[in-house]
Amino acid sequence: MHYQTITYANITLSLSDDLMGLFHVSSASLPLPPGPAGLPLVGSALHFIGPFSRSPHAVLTGLAQTYGPIMSFRPGMAGDFVVVSSPAAAREALAENDAALGARFVPDVAHALAHSSESVFFLPNSSALWRRHRAVVGAHLSSGLSLGRTSHVRDRHARRLAENVRARSGTPVAVGVAVLGAVLDVVSNIAFSEDVAGARVQGGQMFKELIVAVLQDWTKPNVSDAFPFLAPVDLLGSRHRVSRGLMKLYKFFDDEFVERRLLSSCDHERHGDLLDVVLERHAKSELTRSEITKFFTDIFLASSNTSRITVEWAMALLLKHQDKMEKVQDELAENLGCKDFVEEHDLHKLPYLHAVIKETLRLQPPAPLLPRKVVTGDMSLGGFAVPVGTYVLVNLWAIGRDPAVWPDPEVFLPERFLGDQAANFRGLDDFAYKPFGAGRRVCPGLDFATRLVPLLLASLLHRVQWRLPSGMAPEDVDLRDRGSMVLELATPLQAVPVSTHQ
Ligand code: HEM
């Protein structure tokens, strides 16, 4: 049903484009989008930081109900933000103004150790290094060819995850922690042919814990972002902690790099992994040592949290909705029968499992606000001026719950993604559903994630019954989120696996 709505929206938009072409109006003469006035100086920052703050995506969704799908606001003194909260406005921003939105919002923590200056997340589209980094991910991590070559790595670690969970039959498991370990080991084996989740970094901390600690500060709303003049003081200590964490990650990746380079100068052994590829580029002076360590840091930060969060939310939603849990487990039993472990080539037999993941990403997109920055003049959205330097946030969380597009938007209903309604993450017209973003900055790990995430979820569920810890009923599963820039459960999910595998 929502396709029909989008088609009307598209027609309306393209008609209005044609009219705009006939009577071209400079955006300078257009009004700015409406929005809350905010207190002088403090702007709208109090919505996000402080004792009364709520999740940024939820606050902005509420404000959009008053001010409309294209709304402006000023969080403190950070500059002007425009928030986009409908599929039609998202299409106008991400498809028609993709080039104008050629940079990102760079939070204060990303300046730690000058990380943003060489980071695939934060470099603008005009940067040659950004293009080189994306080309490496596109060709060697997420292309059809590289995914085919690495399916055995995903299968091996998915199986290990299933074995670990089955071995703990009858005892509560922290679902997110178990999944994170699997994701990190998959990525590290593809990156440099080793397991890292349980490895120790400088200072004795486990790699897995270090990643969690860095991401915690990385994604938390920060007073330094709302009031940049306070950034040197680093009131919350976020930049300081992120610097310490990044230093350990850089050292860890740099050691890998040095070790392999020293080895390869003796025996020219090739491992067929990502490190071989970047070392080749280093040899041709296309990537520096510092760019390589930052590249690996970004890949681990980008892949681990998003994939782990998606599986954890899916499990929480299934435990809360036992009828859907039954359906997905029936599908696994019917299609995989007595097979011990799920493998990637089984996934095409599991449409309901895929629908569960799509529905999870609609309700709880791990990156709910796409943060872009306008780099060229004369941009407009919906007849409002969006001047150069403005930050544009596309609110995927609001769009995924837009009642004009999604019937019963608050209901967890995987069935909406079955059959004809099976949305495609890349659908050019479907701006009601973009959990991986869109345009030039679309997630380069999309094809990788859409193989890994279903495989991990299926591995948790196949031949394992899940119960809630004693005393908890399905309605007690807490679906509130932590209130950060990344959408994760406020209460990490604990559940008890009961293995049915003999
Ligand atoms: C369920 C899993 C994932 C989700 C939901 C997700 C979502 C996203 C979103 C929404 C963006 C921003 C896109 C935009 O601005 O239009 C993004 C960017 C990015 N993602 Fe993912 N992602 C996932 C997994 C991964 C994986 C597995 C990798 C790496 C292998 C990855 C690497 C990246 C990188 C490097 C960027 C920055 C791209 C740029 O700014 O040019 N992601 N992701």
CB of 366 closer than 6 A to ligand 1? yes
Question: Which of 436, 451, 455 is the best mutation target for the ligand 1 pocket, counting ligand atoms within 8 Å of the beta carbon and taking the most?
Answer: 436
Q: What angle do CA 342, 346, 347 make, to 5 degrees?
A: 100
Q: Which amino acid is at 170?
A: G
Q: Once rounded to an integer, what is the mean pLDDT over residues 137-142?
A: 92
Q: What separation in Å is there between the alpha carbon of 332 and the centre of ligand 1?
A: 28
* Contacts with 86 (C-beta within 8 Å, 6 or more apart), sequence order: 69, 398, 399, 402, 404
* CA-123 nearest atom, ligand 1: 40
CB of 309 closer than 6 A to ligand 1? no
CB of 225 closer than 6 A to ligand 1? no
CA distances from 268 to 259, 262, 271, 282 (A): 13, 10, 10, 15
More confident residue, 292 or 425: 292
CB of 436 closer than 6 A to ligand 1? yes
CB of 186 closer than 6 A to ligand 1? no
* CA-130 nearest atom, ligand 1: 41
* Contacts with 376 (C-beta within 8 Å, 6 or more apart), sequence order: 99, 100, 102, 388
Q: What is the DSSP letter of 436?
A: T
CB of 186 closer than 8 Å to CB of 157: yes
Tokens 């629908």, residue? 355
Written as six digits, the tokens of 165 are 């969970």
Instruction: State which H helix or E strand residue 373 sits in.
Output: strand 369-373
> pLDDT digit string (tens) for 153-181?
999 999 999 999 999 999 999 999 999 99
CB of 64 closer than 6 A to ligand 1? no
CB of 370 closer than 6 A to ligand 1? yes
The confidence score (pLDDT) of residue 10 equals 39
* SS3 assignment, position 452: helix
Q: Establish whether 443 is an annotated binding residue.
A: yes
Range of weakest confidence among 278-282, 394-398, 429-433: 429-433
Q: What separation in Å is there between the alpha carbon of 434 and the centre of ligand 1?
A: 11
The confidence score (pLDDT) of residue 25 equals 55
Q: What separation in Å is there between the alpha carbon of 444 and the centre of ligand 1?
A: 6
The confidence score (pLDDT) of residue 270 equals 79
Q: What is the band of 76 on the pLDDT scale with cuts at 50, 70, 90?
A: confident
Q: What is the band of 337 on the pLDDT scale with cuts at 50, 70, 90?
A: confident
CA distance 89 to 223: 29
Give how far the C-alpha of residue 20 lies from the chain's centroid of Cα atoms, to the nearest Å. 35
CA distance 468 to 122: 40
Give the orientation angle of helix 289-320 with respect to helix 351-363, to 10 degrees: 100
Written as six digits, the tokens of 440 are 């030039």
Cα-Cα-Cα-Cα torsion 205, 208, 213, 215, nearest 10 degrees, comes to 150
Written as six digits, the tokens of 382 are 């919906």
CA distance 348 to 354: 9
Written as six digits, the tokens of 16 are 């209005």
CA distances from 35 to 40, 71, 225 (A): 14, 5, 20
CB of 453 closer than 6 A to ligand 1? yes
> Domain 2-499 classified CATH 1.10.630.10?
yes
Taking the CB of residue 133, how many other CB atoms lie within 10 A of it? 24
Q: What is the band of 42 on the pLDDT scale with cuts at 50, 70, 90?
A: low
> pLDDT digit string (tens) for 363-409?
999 999 999 999 998 899 999 999 999 999 999 999 999 999 999 99
Q: Which amino acid is at 47?
A: H
* Protein residue with its CA nearest to atom 17 in ligand 1: 443
User: Which of 103, 56, 109, 390 has its CA nearest to residue 228?
Assistant: 109
The confidence score (pLDDT) of residue 17 equals 42
Question: Which of 132, 297, 306, 393 is the best mutation target for the ligand 1 pocket, counting ligand atoms within 8 Å of the beta carbon and taking the most?
Answer: 306
The phi, psi pair for 11, rounded to 5°, reads: -60, -45
* Contacts with 139 (C-beta within 8 Å, 6 or more apart), sequence order: 146
User: Which of 182, 125, 192 has its CA nearest to residue 154?
Assistant: 182
Domain extents in the chain: 2-499
> pLDDT digit string (tens) for 112-128?
999 999 999 999 999 99
* Protein residue with its CA nearest to atom 11 in ligand 1: 443
Q: What angle do CA 397, 403, 408 make, to 5 degrees?
A: 95
> pLDDT digit string (tens) for 251-276?
999 998 888 777 766 555 678 899 99
Query: Given a cut of 80, is residue 39 above it in pLDDT?
Result: no
Query: Given a cut of 90, is residue 21 above it in pLDDT?
Result: no
Concatenated DSSP letters for 72-106? EE-BTTS--EEEE-SHHHHHIIIIITTTTS-EE--
* CA-448 nearest atom, ligand 1: 27
Q: What is the DSSP letter of 483?
A: S
